[in-house]
Structure 1
Amino acid sequence: MSRSRALAALVAVSLAAAVPGARAAAETDYTITVDPTARGAAIADTLYGVFFEDINRAADGGLYAELVQNRSFEYDPVDNRSYTGLTSWAPLSGPVEVVDDDQRLNERNRRYLKLGLPAGVVNSGYNSGVNVVEGKRYDFSVWARSEQPATVTASLTDPAGGLLADSLQVQVQGDTWTKYTGSFTARKSTTTGRLAVSGTGTGALRLDMVSLFPHDTYKNRPNGLRADLAEKVAALKPGFVRFPGGCLVNVNSHYGYEAPNWERRRSYQWKDTVGPVEQRATNANFWGYNQSYGLGYYEYFQFAEDIGAMPLPVVPALVTGCGQNRATDDPALLQRHIQDTLDLIEFANGPVTSTWGELRADMGHPEPFKLTHLAVGNEENLPDQYFANFTRFRDAIKARYPQITVLSNSGPDDTGAVFDRLWQLNKQAGVDMVDEHYYNTPDWFLQNNNRYDSYDRNGPKVFLGEYASQGNKLSNALAEAAYMTGLERNADVVKLASYAPLFANQDYVQWQPDMIWLNNHASWGSANYEVQKLFMTNVGDHVVPSTQTSTPSVSAPITGAIGLSTWATSAAYDDVRVTSSTGASLFSDDFSGTDAQWTRAAGRGTWAVSGGRYVQSDAAAQDTLVTAGDVNWHDYDLDVKATKLSGAEGFLVAFGVKDTGNYYWWNLGGWNNTQSAVEKAVGGGKSTLLSHGTQVETGRTYDLRVSVRGRHVELFLDGQKWGEFTDDKVSEPFRQVVTRDTATGELVVKVVNAQASPARVKLDLGNRVSVANTAKVTTIQGGPDDMNTEFFQPVRARETTLRGVKTSFTTTFPAHSVTFIRIKDRRLS
């Protein structure tokens, strides 16, 4: 039984709205009983942290403060079909050419710009342009060489060419690559600025690494970070920073683990990202754009140190995840990556007399970075191959650095065959810590607060490295807050947790939700950010045991219509039948006529009756759901024949369909045909209820049956039971946890009320404690659909004072709120 339900049988619960004076004073919606004299699980200072991945242009154009896009002319169509060496650049005058020859800057910075003087180019930066603020200083630099003496003029301009600051000039002397620098002080402000660079003289002028930085970077570090973004992260007071990914780590999605030549890019490797920036590689990003590696491992370590957080790097295990199914079969390559990981630890912690410790010192940090934790791999889909590689990494690391905690993982989801197998292997091997990832609906988070209550206290600890509830509304943030009370209650098992992802540039969104949003001139924390900040800055040192009364629920049967769908696949369906549990026919369609019984949404695939089957013929279309039947159907069997015709995945058969955002579907051959699952969609967001490794063959017809009885579902594939589940978890919109802050002598009562009515709560601290009669209260409250934007941020924490605090008192928590009450324990003051 969940701890939060332990008193449910003792206290009557009312769900009526908590309106003062509306009922007898003795009635309460909930009772929270706290034992301040007892001590629960200790909470590590590192419990909550942040996860940084270069997704949504989070690095270049985001946290990394460089204002010039494609500064070294390395963009290439092999990385992105829309790219050229002049992406983000436009000629102003004269002959302009991107060249790759033996006059390049270095082997990793191969391309450069050749100008036939006089000539010039202009760079448009990111988003709408370069952000320029009146009175601020901007630092320019360029590497240049010239056959004849030449003058380089750099200007900050508006899109029409009007000057925003006095231009600066540098004299290029000699045909050897040399770095030239200068600064601007802006006279005007704009978000659509440009950097114009031109040359005068005769002959050929060669330019590379054209750079523009705001002078005021975070902590004024050269090659630094954008101050407003770094400050927002620092304000969270994170216990750790996980970097650089994520799927970014696993493998370059286009080219595999290694590149036979420079044109075919490599997977993310830390050695590509350190040393002087002009000597670092540029690379194709897993998420489809180019990354400069100006923000590299040194900068990650430095940032973690600057904000007082533990660095937690992730290295590739050479087994793919993130919807791919490949593992290296090259033992020499695997051994080289293991050695690279040992070298990484030396770079972080080694003495300045070591090879990699010397490089760290040369970069400006002779002292060690105090690395203690390192993760191997991310969301691998091949558990046995991954774990074999992980074991080799761990053995090598422990042999040389026994003090390092080496983290494994449990795959890409919160349940399923991969998850179960990896947890089995991790337990058998005595792994220190396992990284779990899941992105689920708010309802899932409200239903699974007790997830870690039953975890083995003597097994591997949990690092919840990525989680989010698929939205940036206040309702999403409150569902996560409710779940976080369970993380804290189980702090003896869950040692690290980070919401994901951290950043999204609003003009380059590939994944959402995200914690912090940005453009080229502004940034704002989401509702989720505000909730995370409240928890992260009020953690406490240990849990104080507490119990609460629960929310009663009614278990209704699964009801809804049926549906068919595809995802990046062409498929054909036939002989659809729905039969009630008593044997009565509810629906049938053999597609001998039209598709009049089916409802299609505009733009969702190309559906047509063809050859006596219902065919979705667009192999590129995603989420092509068509529906039929009655939303009130319950207790029925759905039978259908399905055939994959072409494409990347398999087919999807929906049941319990309320509408296009609320349904269940059996996803056979999903995730690039690497696995199959039953997913539940609520409000458009999906969570996985059941998962297997089933793959789908093209051209083969499958007989599928879905049998719905009450809230229990059985699934049959070609007459054999494929799986079953019971969707009977109860959403608990009211959750709490209590911790103690020993430094201040305060009990921190954390209450989440994610329902639409206020909750009157009796808070009972017992008779063995003495408390101050006032307490500081911090509340985040609003409408469930409230979202923070650049121009309006309604979701904010607000502080008030609560009076009349006693060892037993009643107070009301607003609807759609999270509230922290800091109660002074006089015994400890």
Structure 2
Amino acid sequence: MRSMGRIRPGLGLTLSALLTTSLAAASLTDPTAAGASSAAVTDYSITVDPDRAGPEIDDAMYGIFYEDINRAADGGLYAELVQNRSFEYDTADHASYTPLTSWTETTTGGATGTARVVNDAARLGEKNRNYLRLDLRGDGGGAGAGYGVTNAGYNTGIAVQAGKTYDFSVWARTDNPSGTPLTIGLHTASGATALASPLRATVRGDHWTKYTGTLTARATDTTGRLAVTAGGGGTVRLDMASLFPRDTYKGHPNGLRKDLAEKIAALKPGFLRFPGGCLVNTGSHRAYEAPDWERKRSYQWKDTVGPVEERPTNANPWGYNQSYGLGYYEYFQFAEDIGATPLPVVPALVTGCGQNKATDDPELLKRHIQDTLDLIEFANGPVTSTWGRKRAQMGHPKPFGLNRLEVGNEENLPDAFFERFTEFREAIEAKHPEITVISNSGPDDSGVTFDRAWELNRAAKVKMVDEHYYNSPQWFLENNKRYDSYDRQGPKVFLGEYASQDNRFGNSLAEAAYMTGLERNADVVRMASYAPLLANKDYVQWRPDLIWYDNAAAWGSTSYETQKLFMNNVGDQVVPSEASATPSLPSGPITGAVGLSTWATSVAYDDVQVTSADGATLLGDDFSGGDGKWTKATGTGSWQVRDGAYVQSDTGAENTMVTAGDRGWQNYDLNLKATKRAGSEGFLIAFGVKDTGNYYWWNLGGWGNTRSAVEKATDGAKQTMAEDGTKIETGRAYDVRIEVRGRQVTLYLDGKKWGAFTDDKVAEPFRQVVTRDKATGELIIKVVNAQDAAARTRIDLGQGVKVRRTARLTTLQGDPDAVNTATDQPIKPSSSTLDGVDTTFSHTFPANSITCLRIAARK
């Protein structure tokens, strides 16, 4: 997962508006065609060549990428209902946190006392250092009186269902020689109504003991509260207060939320990549060292195994704490449960995700390499080995069958990364030649880091390289043939993270069109996974996401339905096929106004000149007369004319766009001076501006001033057009020149050519791929029609093919702006049968649709 610095949700998507093609030249009216919209129906053809063998498709072609982002673990897939169960939250992790976050004091029957979180020698363990100390005054009103705390859970509270059983546990000790009675109750948010009969226990002895019991919900509620109160006098200490639904996925203790796990399993993923993402390579790589441990450590697998009460908590890079209750053992177990190959990712000791720092500590590197070898032993080793014994003690004597492992994630320092990756790879392959060690190519689909990383990977004959990119729907429609030109003999591609930038059906159509290219190139792209997987609707750090949920429900996005359709209909081998293209007309020159912007940076702009190709002045502004020629498009930032320049002074504001000129401008030159005054980035100079969501900008010193690029925004979603490693110096005046000619753009910095690009790729809306399912003998034809016109199509299955006259048909269809929500899922599969199938037959694919045809066929 890359840094969020430039990702923003789309502003509303009509996919036909993205296409640079016109269908008017080849349309026919057919109001009776199945699935036809009110738009024209366009003729296409698909020709299948059954005599040629395409590439074999890996059993793990499509999988899932899990990262603890958007509260995907605690409050998500991990079924624990109590937030901050071990009282480890801290202001060092998040400014709003205290050790009693999600807890409040409560009393019954007039009992009194004090509650405070303590870290002293009486703690539960070295990695679980905080605990709750209740000092009871013993002055309450008789039997049943108690003083203690109430937990509010996640989102709106603790969700329970009538008739369901919930397992409670707590570690406790008391100095009262008579023992301390505990009462555990579930009640509504107001406290007025009990949701279950209370559970009672007596704590005895001043040593830590685990107490357990069950609560059965008598009503359904999503805003419940868990209360733990103690009676009598003296001091009682509590830690690891936990409430789990008995009905976890596959019934595992310390298990997974059933509805979320079932939705993931329904995808039939071939692999599970975990635990991240930026989670892996951000933060300190040091080991947990009590008592003064670093709270923001990278995710390290040894912290996450063993009894849950012995696992530390850690500050998640996405802005909240993670308990590590969902750890490596649970990930391996989940992969096994859903029939997926486990694919762990370990840190390479080069930070990524906007942090560009390499660890130069040979002993630390050596320790992490050994940790990785120990991880392989934990997964695969015999029970007689040190870590194999640990796995067996946790309940799984049988090895997990690990055969792939990734080192690193999105490092933006390719040489430093590859130096360390090589040491990991050599150590792993020396002891475990059966393990495929996967490298990566940085955070983007192209650019300096990408090119250098691939150069290093190819030269070293790395077996597989992980690519990541999050781009506009336009990019996905334009780049279906991306992998057609990859070296068939070089490293294989693992597309570990990808998505188009929104959660509408138009995004899913573009992704589906792109996936046909992934399958067609299955000899190069061996694995692919959409990302991110999960999003708690009340804790969103990233959008788009595949599966959304709240306390009570889970629902798939339109992209979930798309992924499920593809993943459930992969096939074993590609069957070569061709489709006719959509007739296209020239899209015309780049047109639009100009703009100035900043991102977390103060900049002074001056001497802005826009001249037409024939030398006529379209705009001239030295700001001596104020800023009257400029419109503040976003309403953010603090723009003022100061000392004869136009200055944006707010270093906290993001995208402070101001614009000038005419949206009809074309074939012009933009010249200006720019000086960075303060902040973390550089300049954002826009051209071809149509509105706030549609423009180009030259992002000089972007991504924390690590590189520069030209980005194209279409309905708010961006794609990179050109890139290099230019960084911007504070206090230095730069001369900037942008020449726009037709669809060709040339850029100059301080009089030297920086780069150029031609925006002339065709966004093809009609795509197909054909595969063969060897087990069923079916041809699987997947067709994407990402346009407002239905596609009447002649399908030729080839000579000498015998087919069953009836085929299975599954379709996703709808408005490109449709979004699946908790209460409405307009995009869902429609299944039917198609009659009249022959070696040659016709079918009309509806407008804005994804279709899977399964045809029984044989030579």
Relative to the length of structure 2, the TM-score reads: 0.93
Tell me which residue corresponds to 2:847: 815
Structure 1 position 603, deviation (Å) = 3.4
3-state SS of paired residue (2:720): strand
Please show how residues 536-555 of structure 1 align to structure 2 within 5 Å: 536-553=567-584, 554-555=586-587
Given residue 343 of structure 1, which amino acid in structure 2 is its aligned partner? D
Indicate the residue corresponding to 2:223 in structure 1: 192
How far 1:17 sits from its partner (Å)? 5.8
Aligned with 2:116 (options 97, 112, 131)? 97
**1:35 aligned to which of 17, 27, 49:** 49
2:125 corresponds to which residue?
106
Offset, 1:124: 0.2
Match of 2:15 in 1: none
Please identify, of 765-774 and 66-75, the stretch whose mean Cα deviation from structure 2 is larger: 765-774
Distance 2:578 2:30 in 1: 20
Q: 1-side partners of 2:718 and 2:634: how far apart?
A: 22
Task: Select 1:794's aligned residue among 809, 826, 838.
Answer: 826
1:776-815 per-residue CA deviation (whole Å, 9 max, x = no partner) reads 1100001111111000011001111111111111110000
CA distance, structure 1, for counterparts of residue 316 and residue 634 of structure 2:
33
* RMSD (Å), alpha carbons: 1.5
Amino acid at match of 1:760: R
Stretches of structure 2 lacking an aligned partner (at least 5 in a row): 1-23, 108-112, 137-145
Structure 1 728/17 Cα, relative in aligned 2: closer, same or farther at 3 Å?
Answer: farther
| Inter-partner Cα distance in structure 1 for 2:227 and 2:294 | 29
- Superposed, 1:739-818 pairs within 5 Å as 739-818=771-850
Work out whether residues 259 and 265 of structure 1, in 8 Å CA contact, stay in contact via their aligned partners in 2: no
The alignment status of 1:645 with 2:677, answered yes or no, reads yes
Q: For residues 184 and 98 of structure 1, what CA distance do their matches in structure 2 show? A: 26
Return the offset for 1:764: 1.1
The 2-side partners of 1:602 and 1:403 are apart by: 54
Contact kept? 1:68, 1:124, Cα under 8 Å: yes
Distance in 1 (CA, whole Å) between partners of 2:25 and 2:399 is: 56
Q: Which residue of 2 aligns with 1:222?
A: 253
* Cα-to-partner distance string for 1:478-509 (whole Å, 9 max, x where unaligned): 10000000000000000000000000000000
Residues 42 and 789 of structure 2 are in contact (CA less than 8 Å); yes or no, is this contact kept in structure 1?
Answer: no
Aligned to 1:129: 157
Displacement of 1:132 in angstroms is 1.1
Once residues 790 and 711 of structure 1 are traced to their aligned partners in structure 2, the CA distance between those partners, rounded to angstroms, is: 43
Q: Distance in 2 between matches of 1:344 and 1:222?
A: 22
Identity rate, percent: 67
Q: How far apart, in 1, do the equivalents of 2:288 and 2:600 lie?
A: 28
Cα contact 2:448–2:724 (8 A) shared by 1: yes
Matched, 1:262 2:290: no
Q: State the match for 1:80 in structure 2.
A: 94
Unaligned ranges ≥5, structure 1: 1-11
* Alpha-carbon distance in structure 1 between the residues aligned to 2:844 and 2:817: 22
Match of 1:399 in 2: 430
Residue 115 of structure 1: which of 130, 134, 138 is its match? 134
> In the alignment, which of 263, 271, 293 is matched to residue 240 of structure 1?
271
Distance 1:342 1:422, change over 3 A: same
Distance 2:98 2:855 in 1: 61
Is contact 2:42-2:790 (8 Å) kept?
Answer: no
Q: How big is each residue's C-alpha offset from its partner over 1:166-203, in whole Å with a ceiling of 9 and x where there is no partner?
A: 00011111011000000001111111000000111221
Determine the C-alpha separation between the residues in 2 that align with 1:47 and 1:108: 39
- Report the CA distance between 1:36 and its aligned residue: 1.9
Please state whether the residue corresponding to 1:203 is helix, strand or coil.
strand
2:415 corresponds to: 384
How far apart in 2 are the matches of 1:505 and 1:364? 30
Alpha-carbon distance in structure 2 between the residues aligned to 1:256 and 1:767: 61
Q: Does 1:627 align with 2:659?
A: yes
Maintained 8 Å contact 1:772/1:826: no
Counterpart residue number, 2:529? 498
Q: What is aligned with 1:588?
A: 620
1:47 and 2:77 correspond: no
Matched-pair contact (CA < 8 Å) for 1:13–1:29 = no
In structure 2, relative to structure 1, the CA distance for the partners of 1:741 and 1:670 (3 Å cut) is: same
Q: Does the CA contact (< 8 Å) of 1:17 and 1:757 recur in 2? A: no
Task: State which of 576, 601, 616 in structure 1 corresponds to 2:633.
Answer: 601
Distance 1:297 1:14 in 2: 56
Structure 1 residue 63 and structure 2 residue 71: aligned? no
The 10-residue stretch of structure 1 (552-561 or 377-386) with the greater mean CA deviation from structure 2? 552-561
How far apart are residue 690 of structure 1 and its match? 1.4
Query: Given the alignment of the two structures, is residue 153 of structure 1 paired with residue 183 of structure 2, yes or no?
Result: yes
Farther off after superposition, 709-718 or 82-91 = 709-718
TM-superposed deviation, 1:87: 0.3
Q: Tell whether the 8 Å contact from 1:258 to 1:267 is kept in structure 2 after alignment.
A: no
Q: Does 1:14 align with 2:51?
A: no
Match of 2:304 in 1: 273
- State the partner residue of 1:348: 379
- Provide the rounded CA distance (Å) in 2 between the counterparts of 1:572 and 1:396: 52
Aligned length: 811
Distance in 2 between residues matched to 1:16 and 1:529, nearest whole Å: 33
The aligned amino acid for 2:217 is: A
Of residues 706, 709, 727 in structure 2, which corresponds to 1:674? 706
User: Please, which moves more after superposition, 455-464 or 584-593?
Assistant: 584-593
Cα gap change, 1:256/1:347 in structure 2, threshold over 3 Å: closer, same or farther? closer
Number of the residue aligned with 2:397: 366
Query: SS at the partner of 2:516?
Result: helix
Following superposition, the deviation at residue 392 of structure 1 comes to 0.4
Q: Which amino acid aligns with 2:305?
A: V
Q: Which amino acid aligns with 1:194?
A: R
Provide the secondary structure at the position in 2 that maps to 1:425.
helix
Q: Which amino acid aligns with 1:14?
A: A
Cα deviation for residue 20 of structure 1 reads 4.0
Q: 2:212 is matched with which residue? A: 181
Report what 1:618 is aligned to.
650
Secondary structure of the 1:95 match is strand
Once residues 630 and 333 of structure 1 are traced to their aligned partners in structure 2, the CA distance between those partners, rounded to angstroms, is 57
**1:555 Cα shift?**
3.5
Deviations along 1:218-245, whole A, 9 cap, x unmatched? 0010000000000000000000000000
1:516 aligns to 2:547 (yes or no) = yes
Q: Is the 1:18–1:812 contact (alpha carbons within 8 Å) kept by the matching residues of 2?
A: no
Which amino acid is the alignment partner of residue 486 of structure 2?
Y
- Counterpart residue type for residue 135 of structure 1: G
| Aligned mates of 1:691, 1:383 — CA distance in 2 | 16
Aligned equivalent of 1:309: 340
2:634 and 2:658 in contact (8 A); partners too: no
Aligned partners of 2:700 and 2:728 also within 8 Å = yes
For 1:158, the aligned partner's letter is T
Q: Name which of 560, 574, 577 aligns with 2:606.
A: 574
CA distance in 1, matches of 2:287, 2:304: 16
Distance 1:643 1:513 in 2: 35
Partner of 1:717: 749
Cross-structure match for 1:3: none
CA apart distance, 1:520: 1.0
Q: Deviations over 1:17-65 (max 9, x none)?
A: 654489xxxx961111111232101111100000000000000000000
What SS class does the counterpart of residue 751 from structure 1 fall into? strand
Secondary structure in 2 aligned to 1:773?
coil
- Kept after mapping to 2: 8 A contact 1:13/1:551: no
Distance 1:595 1:185, change over 3 A: same
Cα distance, 1:601 vs structure 2: 3.1
Deviates more, 1:692-701 or 1:526-535: 692-701
Letter aligned with residue 705 of structure 2: N
Alignment of 1:319 with 2:333, yes or no, is no
1:436 corresponds to 2:467: yes
Residue 594 of structure 1 and its aligned partner are, at CA, apart by 1.6
Does the Cα contact within 8 Å between 2:634 and 2:692 map onto a contact in 1?
no
